[in-house]
């Protein structure tokens, strides 16, 4: 609140946030139209007492895809302040920081890489005394996640 009692306007959104907001608005309009169309199609089939389940399933699948994308964009907008987002290298779908797989196409966004932080003893074996645990077969289970393509640059 300012001294006059009115609240100050929020800061303008960044370019990525404004692109996400535009995409959200576009997807929300598509989802609303697809809901309307699916309901109308179902109604028309009902009054004619002739349902084509294959057609309804195809239309519902399209609606489900758009609705899932809208939910992901809204989630990214909520995380905008606390996490940096990127896009899938395969399909360019947005993803949040730390995502392992693309929500849309399933492409791996992070891959396993050997840890450079694991100390090696003089005999060439990894030091397990630093709080790490060995697996049942005696090998050490160390997981370091690197963005796909980051180590290839």
Measured between alpha carbons, how far is residue 27 from residues 12, 68, 91 in Å? 22, 10, 17
Assess if residue 153 is contained within a domain. Answer: no
Q: What is the pLDDT of residues 4-46, one digit of tens each?
A: 444 444 444 556 678 888 999 999 999 999 999 999 999 999 9
With respect to residue 50, please indicate whether it lies within any of the assigned structural domains.
yes
Q: Is the dihedral of CA 29, 31, 33, 36 positive or negative?
A: negative
Per 3-state DSSP, the chain is made up of helix, strand and coil in percentages (nearest 5) of 40, 10, 50
Q: For residue 92, is it within any domain?
A: no
Copy the structure tokens of residue 4: 């006059």
Q: Is residue 26 part of a domain?
A: yes
Q: What is the pLDDT of residue 119?
A: 57
pTM check: above 0.95: no
Domain presence at residue 45: yes
Report CA 144 to chain centroid distance, whole Å.
20
Task: Report if residue 146 sits inside a domain.
Answer: no
Q: Partners of 30 in the beta sheet?
A: none
Q: Would you say 132 and 118 are in contact if contact means Cβ atoms under 8 Å apart? A: yes
Q: What percent of the chain has pLDDT over 70?
A: 57
Beta-bridge partner residues of 33? none
Number of domains within the chain:
1
- The residue assigned the tokens 């899932």 is 68
Q: Is residue 62 part of a domain?
A: yes
For 90-106, the pLDDT digits (tens) are 887 777 767 778 878 98
- pLDDT on residue 112: 64
Residue 114: inside a domain, yes or no? no
Domain range for residue 69? 15-85
């Amino acid at each position: 609140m300012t001294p006059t009692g009115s609240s100050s306007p929020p800061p303008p959104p960044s370019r990525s946030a404004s692109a996400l907001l535009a995409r959200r608005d576009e997807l929300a309009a598509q989802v609303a139209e697809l809901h309307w169309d699916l309901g109308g199609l179902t109604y028309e089939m009902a009054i004619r007492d002739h349902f084509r389940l294959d057609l309804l399933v195809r239309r519902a699948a399209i609606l489900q895809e758009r609705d899932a994308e809208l939910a992901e964009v809204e989630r990214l907008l909520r995380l905008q302040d606390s996490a940096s987002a990127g896009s899938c290298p395969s399909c360019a779908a947005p993803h949040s920081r730390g995502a392992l797989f693309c929500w849309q196409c399933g492409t791996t966004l992070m891959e396993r890489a050997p840890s450079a932080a694991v100390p090696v003893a003089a005999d060439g074996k990894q030091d397990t005394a630093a709080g790490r645990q060995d697996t049942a077969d005696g090998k050490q289970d160390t997981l370091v996640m690197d963005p796909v393509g980051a180590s290839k640059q």
